[in-house]
Amino acid sequence: MNGKSYRFTHAICREVSASATQGLRAVDIGAPDLAQFRADHADYVAVLRSTGAEVTVLPALEAFPDGVFVEDAAICLAEGAVVTRPGAPSRLGEAAAMAPVLEGFYEDVVWVEDGFIEGGDVLVTEREILVGTSARTDATGIATLTRLVARWGYALRVVETPPGVLHFKTDCALLDEETVLATPRLAASGCFEGYRVIHTGEGEEAAANVIRFNDLVVMPSGFARTQEAIEAAGYTVRPVGNSEAAKLDGGMSCLSLRFSPAG
Ligand code: CIR
């Protein structure tokens, strides 16, 4: 199917836990306001549902302050799902909590058992899977993932997440078969050669973490230049408030697993 890397029948999200105030953050600019975080999260889920997708919202996990960022716990492909091994010690258990949920959708669920890998470092495009090395994703994890997805015919390309950037997808997103949105600092590495690249607006690096979800591009609100650039390229944009998730270095991709299980 054309568009398999951005057309999805399903998504999984997780409610914001009260413990999210203790979530990991590179720079402490204060704890997220839970009421605002939950309101933004509800808007996000509603936007995904507006495309016709079936969105499962799991209950909050109080034991995992970063549990709302479900993307890091798994990699969902058409043929099967990979349960990851998050490199942040406080997040390791999130993957095991996600596994039974994935088993409800997929016959084939496999586990990364060596090294570390977080879903935020994995960009699935129509032609390949890009994986960024980062403080959370190491060479052993990438080798394990390479072996696991080879059974479904996927090729992996290893790229570098810019220094000081949490995840590869903190700085980029897929917009369609041939187009990515990327920060100029990431695009400068040459990792998107062969793709059409739309740059985030000046001073708007925090706008790079968007998702193409069916006919929509869901992006954090408040980034007019980037929104304009995406719209000028012909996409339909839905801005969603992200002020509270951003305090924990989270964005649009982190808040869901998106997939269309085969069969
Ligand atoms: C963390 O540091 O792990 C969380 N506070 C943020 C995770 C964001 N996830 C993502 O970019 N995929």
Quote the pTM value: 0.97
Is 202 annotated for ligand binding?
no
Is 24 annotated for ligand binding?
yes
Residue 1 confidence (pLDDT) above 60: no
pLDDT for position 263 = 64
pLDDT tens digits, one per residue of 17-42: 999 999 999 999 999 999 999 999 99
Which of the following is catalytic: 167, 172, 191, 199? 167
Q: Which residues contact residue 261 at a Cβ distance below 8 angstroms, ignoring those fewer than 6 apart?
A: 9, 10, 76, 78, 105, 106
Is 185 annotated for ligand binding?
no
- Cβ atoms < 10 Å from Cβ of 29: 9
Nearest to 105 by CA among 254, 227, 250, 263: 263
User: Can 199 be counted among the known catalytic residues?
Assistant: no
pLDDT tens digits, one per residue of 210-247: 999 999 999 999 999 999 999 999 999 999 999 999 99
Range 175-189 average pLDDT: 97
| Substitution site in 66, 123, 211 for ligand 1 pocket (most atoms within 8 Å of beta carbon) | 66
Question: By the 8 A CB rule, do 29 and 56 touch?
Answer: no
Question: By the 8 A CB rule, do 36 and 43 touch?
Answer: no
Domains of the chain plus CATH, in order, are 10-259 (3.75.10.10)
**Strand pairing partners for 16?**
none
| DSSP result, 32-60 | PPHHHHHHHHHHHHHHHHTTT-EEEEEPP
C-alpha 135 – ligand 1 centre gap (Å) = 12
Which amino acid is residue 14, in one-letter code? R
- DSSP letter at 163 equals T
Residues with CB under 6 A from ligand 1: 23-25, 66, 69, 71-72, 88, 91, 119-120, 166-167, 170, 248-250, 253-254
Residue 70 confidence (pLDDT) above 60: yes
Range 53-75 average pLDDT: 98
pLDDT tens digits, one per residue of 110-145: 999 999 999 999 999 999 999 999 999 999 999 999
Residues of the chain with pLDDT > 90: what percent?
98
Q: For ligand 1, atom 7, which residue shows the shortest CA distance? A: 250
Mean pLDDT of the chain: 97
Tell me the CB-side half-sphere exposure of residue 10, using CA atoms within 13 A.
16
Confidence of residue 262 (pLDDT cuts 50, 70, 90): confident
pLDDT tens digits, one per residue of 190-219: 999 999 999 999 999 999 999 999 999 999
Q: Which residues contact residue 38 at a Cβ distance below 8 angstroms, ignoring those fewer than 6 apart?
A: 15, 16
